[in-house]
Amino acid sequence: MHEWALAEAVISTTLKIAEEKELKEVIELKIKIGELQQIDQEIFEFALSQLRSPMLKNAKFSLETVKAELKCRVCNHKWKFSTKNMDHDVSEFIHFVPEIAHTYLKCPKCGSPDFEILTGRGVWLDSIKGAK
């Protein structure tokens, strides 16, 4: 349920932005979820719905998963993240702290752990639609 902590962060940030923009109601929240984080979308959506405040009572949560792409800084090779053949514990560790990928993943071409996470890291608040 560490998805709950991230959902809290999304709701808290949304409320802060809504207040800054003087919104009366939030209509839609677009959230991007990086594949590397391996969020359980069902739990995440459940947490979001449980954390609804009056300002968000009718808000629609639109979730989009962003594929994780990695690029080796040494040989420039690009590859897609995959949990296939990955040790369950390692997959869990990356789920909690995605940067742990640097501990366990290596460039499939040259074996370097010095790679960049081009896309698919973390949870992002993409946009908020609201009514004034």
Partner 1 sequence: MVDPRLNIINERLSKIGKIIAVSSGKGGVGKSMIASTLALALSRRGYKVGLLDLDFSCPSTHVILSIEGLFPKEEKGIIPPEAHGLRYMSIVYYARDEPSPLRGVDISNAIIELFAITQWGSLDFLVIDMPPGIGDATLDMIRFVNGINFLIVTTPSKVAFETVRKLIQLLKDLKVPIVGVVENMKMRDSPFIREQVERLAAPFLGGINFDYKLEDSMGDVKKLLETEFAQSVEEIVSKKL
Which residues form the interface with partner 1 (CB under 8 A)? 1-2, 4-6, 8-10, 12-14, 16-17, 32, 93, 96-100, 102-104, 113-114, 117, 121-126
* Distance in angstroms (rounded) separating the CA atoms of residues 41 and 34: 11
Which CB sits closer to partner 1, 10 or 26?
10
Q: Which is nearer to partner 1, 102 or 129 (CB)?
A: 102
Distance CA 102, CA 71 (A): 12
Residues in the chain: 132
Q: How far is the CB of 62 from partner 1 (least distance, A)?
A: 14
CB-nearer residue toward partner 1: 1 or 27: 1
Q: In angstroms, rounded to a whole number, what is the distance separating the alpha carbons of residues 13 and 8? A: 8
Coil, helix or strand at residue 40: coil
Q: Measured from the CB atom, is 79 or 104 closer to partner 1?
A: 104
CA-based nearest residue to 26, from 64, 52, 63, 65: 52
Nearest approach, Cβ of residue 125 and partner 1 (Å): 4
Q: Which helix (H) or strand (E) holds 18?
A: helix 2-20
In the complex, the smallest distance separating the C-beta of residue 34 from partner 1, rounded to whole angstroms, is 11
Instruction: Please report how close the Cβ of residue 80 comes to partner 1 at its closest, in angstroms.
Output: 19
